[in-house]
Each structure stands twice: as structure tokens, then as C-alpha cells.
């Protein structure tokens, strides 16, 4: 850490402070170091194309799942129809 530092007040709820203090203690860090490390790791998604690609993947996956469910439901319905048919004469 540089020898010159500046103070940055951070407002948070008492619940957030307790939660972060607990995390800092578990990680054997000070609250300040926990916040610095978390801030350094944070990287907002700046490329909307990534989100668009992810959304398209979800849509494709969902469509495949719906088709599989529809196919399974059709098979179940056919199976139920076969089970409810009366046996042909001469068969038990």
C-alpha cells in the first residue's frame, strides 16, 4: 500500500457493517483491507454484448427444454391412452 493514504468515509447500514466486520474477522483482515480488496476485485460488466450473448444462450436453452418437456408429455399421454384401452377379444 502506498505510504500516503486518504480517508474515504463509507456509509452503510448497521446490518451491512456487522456482516462485513464478520467477513473481515473470518478472513483475518481489517475492515479497511476487506473493502479495499473487494473494491479492487469489483469489475462491472461494461460490454452489453456479453449480456446479450448470455440472454440468447438462456433463450436457446429454455426453448430446448420446453421441446423436451412437450415431447415427454406427449409420450406420457400416449402411454396413458394405451393403458386405458380395453384389451382386444381373445386377449387377457
pLDDT beyond 70 at 22: yes
pTM score, two decimals? 0.46
* Neighbouring C-alpha atoms within 13 Å toward the C-beta of 51: 5
Of 33, 5, 6, nearest to 21 (Cα)? 33
Cα 75 to Cα 1, 57, 60, 64, 82, distances in angstroms: 65, 27, 23, 17, 11
The reported pLDDT for the residue numbered 90 is 61
In the chain, the percentage of residues whose pLDDT exceeds 70 is: 90
pLDDT beyond 90 at 45: no
Q: What is the pLDDT of residues 51-79, one digit of tens each?
A: 889 899 999 999 999 999 999 999 999 99
Amino acid at each position: 500500500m502506498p505510504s500516503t493514504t486518504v480517508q474515504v468515509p463509507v456509509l452503510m447500514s448497521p446490518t451491512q457493517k456487522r456482516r462485513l466486520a464478520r467477513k473481515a474477522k473470518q478472513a483475518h483482515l481489517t475492515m479497511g483491507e476487506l473493502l479495499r480488496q473487494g473494491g479492487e476485485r469489483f469489475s462491472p460488466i461494461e460490454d452489453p454484448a456479453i449480456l446479450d450473448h448470455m440472454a440468447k444462450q438462456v433463450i436457446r436453452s429454455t426453448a430446448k427444454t420446453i421441446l423436451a418437456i412437450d415431447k415427454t408429455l406427449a409420450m406420457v399421454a400416449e402411454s396413458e391412452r394405451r393403458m386405458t384401452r380395453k384389451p382386444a377379444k381373445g386377449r387377457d
